[in-house]
Chain A
Amino acid sequence: DTEVTQTPKHLVMGMTNKKSLKCEQHMGHRAMYWYKQKAKKPPELMFVYSYEKLSINESVPSRFSPECPNSSLLNLHLHALQPEDSALYLCASRSTGSGTEAFFGQGTRLTVV
């Protein structure tokens, strides 16, 4: 199984809503990532979890709250988002060995209205 599964695939939310994005992998990878990608741009790193602990936070606003409940699951909790937060949110995972590549999910297309 070389899949990273993200749900939902599409999400429309109001600025006062609370929602969560979910990411799951069963490859035994101990590094998991959240990226934000705007149209025609490269992915921008948001968070990295290593062994279920937050390793990197790229100065992301607190309206984005990551959570790694176990080694297979990664969540991104969303609250009070702005329209400019509309983007594709990609999850990725990687084995912590050197030289290994990241495996990406299909992303969640988020629209904030």
Chain B
Amino acid sequence: AQTVTQSQPEMSVQEAETVTLSCTYDTSESDYYLFWYKQPPSRQMILVIRQEAYKQQNATENRFSVNFQKAAKSFSLKISDSQLGDAAMYFCAYRSPTSGTYKYIFGTGTRLKVLA
């Protein structure tokens, strides 16, 4: 069975600085999808970034980028030029590509605080 681990329950970053959130996972599958979701106090889970395991290139979305290390089963999220609005709970998630598989496996989350 697949598992997702986020070892940092809480992180802090100064506004305009860079922070990296860690995520490791365990799977025997060779192809899969990885996601970072953000959940601000408004409660809605919002997709931050997505990575397909078959792609070697790391995904980027504006200030957000990932460091995907397939062999190490690591999927960290880097937030550059942190803003107050980035303060939220961040969840790493795994999904199998198998047809008919709908489950997302979430990590326990990292609470990010942004200091003014």
Residues of A within 8 A of B (CB): 31, 33, 40-43, 45, 48, 50, 55-56, 88, 90, 92, 94, 98-99, 101-107, 109
Contacts and interface: CB of A to CB of B under 8 A. Distances in A.
Interface stretch (B17-25, B62-70, B99-107): B99-107
A45 B103 contact: yes
Contact of B109 (A40, A90, A101): A40
Contact of A104 (B44, B52, B100, B108): B44
Contacts of B109: 40-42
24 contacts: A33-B102, A40-B109, A41-B108, A41-B109, A42-B107, A42-B108, A43-B45, A43-B91, A43-B106, A48-B103, A50-B102, A90-B43, A90-B45, A92-B45, A98-B33, A99-B52, A101-B47, A101-B50, A104-B37, A104-B45, A104-B46, A106-B43, A107-B44, A109-B43
B42 interface: yes
Interface of B: 33, 35, 37, 42-47, 50, 52, 89, 91, 97, 99-100, 102-104, 106-109, 111
B40 to A, nearest CB: 10
Contacts of B108: 41-42
Nearest to A56: B102
B44 A94 contact: no
A98 B47 CA distance: 16
Contact of A56 (B33, B47, B50, B103): B103
B97 A99 contact: yes
A42 B106 contact: yes
A33 B104 CA distance: 10
A66 to B, nearest CB: 14
Contacts of B97: 98-99
4 interchain residue pairs of minimum CB distance = A42-B106, A104-B45, A106-B44, A48-B102
A88 B43 contact: yes
A45 B106 CA distance: 10
Which among B44, B47, B91, B111 has the highest number of chain A CB atoms within 10 Å? Answer: B44
A41 B45 CA distance: 13
A106 B102 contact: no
